[in-house]
Amino acid sequence: MRVTVGKGSCGIAAGAGEVFERLERDGVKPAVTGCIGMCWLEPIVNVGDKTFVRVDAEAAGEIGKYIRGEENGAERYAIRQEDLDNLNAQVRVALRNCGVIDPENIGEYIAREGYAAAEKCITELTPERVIEEIKASGLGGRGGAGFPTWFKWNAARGSKGDKKYVICNADEGDPGAFMDRAVIEGDPHAVIEGMMIAAYAIGSDEGFVYVRAEYPLAIIRLDIALRQAREKGLLGKNIFGTGFCFDIRIKAGAGAFVCGEETALIASLEGERGMPRLKPPFPAQKGYLKKPSNINNVETYANVPWIIRNGGAAFSAMGTENSKGTKVFALTGKIKNGGLCEVPMGRTIRDVVYGVGGGIKDGKAFKAVQMGGPSGGCIPAELADTMIDYRTLAATGAIMGSGGMVVMDGSTCMVDMARFFLDFTCKESCGKCAHCRVGNRRMLEILERICAGDGREGDIELLSGLAEQIKDGSLCALGQTAPNPVLTTLRYFKNEYEDHITHKKCTARQCKPLLTYSIDGAKCTGCTLCAKKCPSGAIAGEVKKPHRVEREKCVQCGKCAEVCRFGAVEVD
């Protein structure tokens, strides 16, 4: 009976290491798997076809008894049917092996038709035929723009050069996004095989995976996979006895968000400062070391072997007219079931948030979802039936991005949310062009003023005008899309800006300078806890008698509301 423990980053953070060790001490020999996507249920242990969730060391002891056939209490850790139904409702292409195979055992990947697609391409198909199959699939780049993958490959193949490169962009930096990390941690060979096929198609013998150093486990497992592939003769010289040669190196990036932009990534790969370059020429014409180069992200490459094995038409049959196949999303924020899911394009935001994500935490109302990270936009709850494809999402002012979905409820202040994402973008700007370097900073200063209660008449118009100029004048996609969170919150939540500026109120009660605190004398017991915790001595009153807040001393820190056990502190 096969026993596995999910040891992706989410599982390890939840305690999977201790679970694994406990099972070993009990005489069980578990295998490792990556994240299956149900991060909210980690640690996860599979015993045959039985799944146990939220397993701790004590639960692992019960599972050990279950495996040995002894009396046990393991059943109370069994996964619920509704959670299994959510998983089974997905269509997993890029995630097909994640949480299923041992990512550190190439034999398990090969047993699931691993490297069969690469062998088929290299031994049976011409490079042109491979590109035609990718074209038939309709696969668009999963890094954000959805640009046709076949077109990139074809352009790189058609470019003249004695040396060409295949590059995997694993510099996933959006807050709340962890799709690429999970794929590399759970199924690194799928990415390697996808890169091999791309290399054969464009005529390359060398590749790089540019992965951020903040993903140490992904780097470790990718390195193991590369070594195992070389030992099997699947990388290196004379692959499949055809004379085709290809190998891959890992480049650990220092974590600059701007290096997710392909020309900045190339600059970093060359040892230069990660700053975008003017296009054209495009990387397919002049990329790494000025040689023709093809760049796709992790999810894009992970789809390729499945497409070759099953045919481009099978992939194209999923999705919409403009967006083919499936898409992986990372669900974070105020959602019950945080984690990864993969669904066909064309599903609605509501389908994903409620059908897979289980809805909003604590039964609260769904307010909005931020899609596309700092480069994306806030889509309000009234547009929850918006279909997920590239064109439809763009019409809302958001973008698909790499697949991050940050879900918000009524406790989220949309002005503060725009400020948060713009603060991130300002810190991550390379500073090359003035529109991004200076313009975004000016927008951030305005948002900070508004959140601090110093908003002025005309700030909304000023923000809107600045945003449009920055979009038009910035050199790369970071600057061009940085205003999106501001523009979409202005578009859908203008009333919150007006409340902040005109009425000096934050209806979500998140911007502390705009909040006032008072004590309901009917509820206050005079326990004095709030007075003891108040850093400014703003709370007055005698023991066992109702207290009061002296407004002139209050610094609006919120400590009194946090510590009151009787609900006596009112926040307005």
Q: Which of 348, 380, 409 is the last residue of a domain?
A: 409
Question: Shortest CA distance to 109 belongs to which of 122, 125, 94, 98?
Answer: 98
491-499 long-range contacts (CB < 8 A, ≥24 apart) are 491/397, 492/368, 492/378, 492/379, 492/380, 492/383, 492/414, 493/368, 493/378, 493/380, 493/414, 493/415, 494/460, 496/413, 496/414, 496/415, 497/415, 497/450, 497/455, 497/459, 497/460, 498/460
Going residue by residue through the chain, which has 572 residues, state the pLDDT in tens, using 9 for 90 and above.
899 999 999 999 999 999 999 999 999 999 999 999 999 999 999 999 999 999 999 999 999 999 999 999 999 999 999 899 888 889 999 999 999 999 999 999 999 999 999 999 999 999 999 999 999 999 999 987 789 999 999 999 999 999 999 999 999 988 888 999 999 999 999 999 999 999 999 999 999 999 999 999 999 999 999 999 999 999 999 999 999 999 999 999 988 899 999 999 999 999 999 999 989 999 999 999 999 999 999 999 999 999 999 999 999 999 999 899 999 999 999 999 999 999 999 999 999 999 999 999 999 999 999 998 888 899 999 999 999 999 999 999 998 888 889 999 999 999 999 999 999 999 999 999 999 999 999 999 999 999 999 999 999 999 999 999 999 999 888 899 999 999 999 999 999 999 999 999 999 989 988 988 999 989 999 999 999 999 999 999 999 999 999 988 998 888 998 899 999 999 88
CB count within 10 Å of CB 323 equals: 23
Strands 326-333, 339-344: pairing is: antiparallel
The pLDDT of residue 169 is 96
- The answer, yes or no, to whether the previous bond of 535 is cis (omega within 30 of 0) is no
Q: What CATH number should be reported for the domain holding residue 259?
A: 3.40.50.11540
DSSP 457: T
The shares of helix, strand and coil residues in the chain, as percent rounded to the nearest 5, are 45, 15, 40
Q: Are residues 181 and 296 in the same domain?
A: yes
- Structural element, H or E, at residue 210: strand 206-212
If we measure between CA atoms, which residue out of 153, 247, 147 comes closest to residue 192?
Answer: 247
Residues 357 and 247 grouped into a single domain: no
Residues spanned by the domain of 376: 326-409
* 205 and 251 assigned to the same domain: yes
- Identify whether residues 216 and 173 lie together within a single domain: yes
Written in H, E and C, the secondary structure of 476-524 is CHHHHHCCHHHHHHHHHCHHHHHHHHHHCCCCCCCCHHHCCEEECCCCC
User: Are residues 26 and 167 both part of a single domain?
Assistant: no
Distance of alpha carbon 447 from alpha carbon 396, whole angstroms: 22
Q: For residue 280, is the peptide bond before it cis, meaning its omega torsion is within 30 degrees of 0?
A: yes
Question: For 14-25, what is the HEC assignment?
Answer: HCHHHHHHHHHH
- Asked if 423 and 479 sit in the same domain, the reply is yes
Which domain CATH number covers 25? 3.40.30.10
* Residue 545 exposed, middle or buried by CB count within 10 Å (0-12, 13-18, 19+): exposed
Q: How many CB atoms lie within 10 A of CB 526?
A: 15
Q: Both 39 and 131 in a single domain?
A: no
- Structural tokens at position 73: 């209490």
Task: Count CB-CB contacts under 10 A for residue 162.
Answer: 6
- The order of strands in the sheet holding 366-371 is 339-344, 326-333, 404-409, 366-371, 377-380
509 in any annotated domain: no
Position 556 in a domain: yes
Q: Is the dihedral of CA 35, 36, 38, 43 positive or negative?
A: negative
- pLDDT at position 551 is 87
Q: How much is the pTM?
A: 0.93
Please give the tally of structural domains in the chain.
5
**Are 272 and 130 found together in one domain?**
yes
Region of 457 (left: φ > 0; alpha: ψ -120 to 50; beta: rest) is beta
List b or e across 131-150, with b for residues whose CB sees 16 or more CB atoms inside 10 angstroms: bbbbbbbbbbbbbbebebbb
Q: Which one of 409, 433, 450 terminates a domain?
A: 409
**Residue 360 identity:** I
- The secondary structure element, H or E, covering residue 108 is helix 106-111
Asked which of 352, 381, 409 is the last residue of a domain, the reply is: 409
Q: Is residue 141 part of a domain?
A: yes
Q: 410, 372, 374, 412: which is closest to 388 by C-alpha?
A: 372
Same domain, 207 and 297: yes
Amino acid type, 185: E
Residue 214 is assigned to a structural domain of this protein:
yes
Both 36 and 135 in one domain: the answer is: no
On whether residue 510 sits in a domain, the answer given is no
Same domain, 239 and 267: yes
Residue at 539 is within a domain: yes
Residues 128 and 241 in one domain: yes
Tokens of 280: 């054209």
Which tokens belong to 39? 């991060």
Rounded CA gap, 192 and 316, in Å?
23
Residue at 226 is within a domain: yes
Q: Which residues of 327-343 are buried (b: 16+ CB within 10 A; e: fewer)?
A: bbbbbbbbbbbbbbbbb
Tell me the CATH number at 547: 3.30.70.20
Query: Which is it for strands 539-540 and 377-380: parallel, antiparallel or unpaired?
Result: unpaired
Query: What is the rounded distance in angstroms from the CA atom of residue 2 to the CA atom of residue 168?
Result: 33
The span from the CA of 459 to the CA of 351, in Å, is 36
Contacts of 110 (CB under 8 A, 6+ apart): none
Q: Are 106 and 228 in contact (CB under 8 A)?
A: yes
Q: Is residue 342 part of a domain?
A: yes
